[in-house]
Structures are given as structure tokens and as C-alpha cells.
Amino acid sequence: MSLSLFDLKNKVALVTGATHGLGMAMAQGLGRAGATLVINGASSQTKLDAAVAEYTALGLQAHGYLFDVTNETQVIENIQRIEQEVGSIDILVNNAGIIKRTPLEDMEVKDFEQVIKVDLVSPFIVSKHVVKGMIAKGEGKIINICSMMSELGRNTVGAYAAAKGGLKMLTRNMATEWAKYNVQVNGIGPGYFATSQTAPIRKEGHPFNDFIISRTPAGRWGDPEDLQGATIFLASKASDFVNGQIIYVDGGLLATIGKPANEN
């Protein structure tokens, strides 16, 4: 098998929410495989510019576009700009997302709806308008970032789990409708990763840290770079007959019921 199957040179990859964290790690992987990166952010131009500078410092080609992925008008306008200024989008990674940790009985309807809008509706909006260009040229790759919560429930994340479970099924339906155009749509479900957001609960002795390490067969938190292989695979020709699948990059967490706390 030739490594050229994984070569992304001359490909344009749009990664939403890639100014930090797991989105940035996945985008860096695509860039290292040769893709020209288009990074989306929504919070501030300053943060977006800083992220683009970080990619550039690594020797990657990166362009930043500030827009709200839940706003269809902004999405349409910026996809047109990207196609004119950078090129036709070959790879789309729907990574942008939010979480609100509130027990369901206490959660405001507006907060529930916001999570659904960002985590489920926005991948539909962005994919709907990017896929038109993919259909026109007869090829494309869409990767939706799902979650452990696409399969499992957990206290206080009901809205997030509902959105990510929906995204899993949206992924399968996108694949069903668009496979005939040679567009592959798959998902990645990250396990528990070491990021700045999880730093407070990864301290040795913290109950959640101990729970994740004991619950995960690999015995550790994921490193953000652990996501790069799956991302490159699903973005490349190596996955041309893979469609509608969710790859869980979780150290084996979903494969096991777990073990008692006192078991080695």
C-alpha cells in the first residue's frame, strides 16, 4: 500500500472551531499531511489571527475566517469567499461545539436549544452548503466530530448527548444521500483528552481523573495528537469506500464495561 493514499497535497480543508484544543490538533494533522487549512472561529478576530499565526509558525498553510456556523447567511457568504480566495473545499471537519453542564430538570429551554443549534444544526448548515461544491466536482470528505456521548449518557450533559447522538445519525443520513456523488461522510468520537479545559480535573487524586484512567483500558487520557491519524484517514483516499461510520478514538473505553476500583 502506498503512503500516497494519505497524501492531502493540493486539498483544501475547512475545520470549524479550530482556534484551539482538539480542533487545532486535527487541523494540524491535516496540514502536516499536505492540506491547505481554512480555520473558522467565531469569538474574536484577535483569537483567530493568533491561531493562524500558530499554524504558520509550524510551516503550515492556513487561512482564517471569522463567522458564526449557526448563521446560514454568514456560512453562505464565507464559503463563497473561501472558494474565491483559497479554492474549492475538498475536506470539511465539523468540529465547532459547546457544552452546558446542567441537570435536565434545572436546564433552561433556551440553553438546551443553544446546544442543539451549535452542536447539531450547524453541521447541517455548513455541510449543506459545502457539499454543493463537492457534488459538482464529484468528490469530497466530510468529518463530523461526535462524542462518547453519541453512545453513552452522563449526568448534567443531556443537551450535549442529545445533540451528539443526533449528529451520529445525521452523519449516517448524509452518507446515505451523498455517497452516490463520491462524497464520504464519517464521524470521529473522541474519548477523554488532555486539554486546557480538562486540566483542573486531571490532577492526580481527583475523583474524575481516577475514574477516567481506571475506566479506559489504555490507562491514560488521550493526547490531542492521537486524533490526527483518524482525521487524516477519513480525509484521504484511503477511506474512499468508508461511509457513514463513527470511529471512536477513546483508548478502548467503549469496548469495556470497566473494572472495580480495587482491580489492577
Q: Active-site residue numbers?
A: 160
Length of the chain: 264
Maximum pairwise Cα distance, the chain: 59
Ramachandran region of residue 38, left (φ > 0), alpha (ψ -120 to 50) or beta? beta
| DSSP-based three-state secondary structure for 71 | coil
Q: 3-class DSSP state for residue 189?
A: strand
Measure the CA–CA gap between 145 and 26, rounded to whole angstroms.
10
184 near 137, Cβ under 8 Å? no
Q: How far apart are CA 252 and CA 222, in angstroms?
A: 11
Cell of 33: 499531511
Please state, in angstroms and as integers, the Cα–Cα distance from residue 170 to each residue in 54, 124, 165, 259, 263, following that order: 32, 8, 9, 33, 39
Q: What distance in Å separates the CA atoms of residue 195 and residue 3, rounded to the nearest whole number?
A: 30
Nearest CA among 19, 37, 17, 33 for reference residue 126: 17
- Cell triple for 99: 457544552
- First-residue to last-residue Cα distance in the chain: 39
**How are strands ordered across the β-sheet holding 246-249?**
62-66, 36-41, 12-15, 91-94, 140-145, 183-190, 246-249
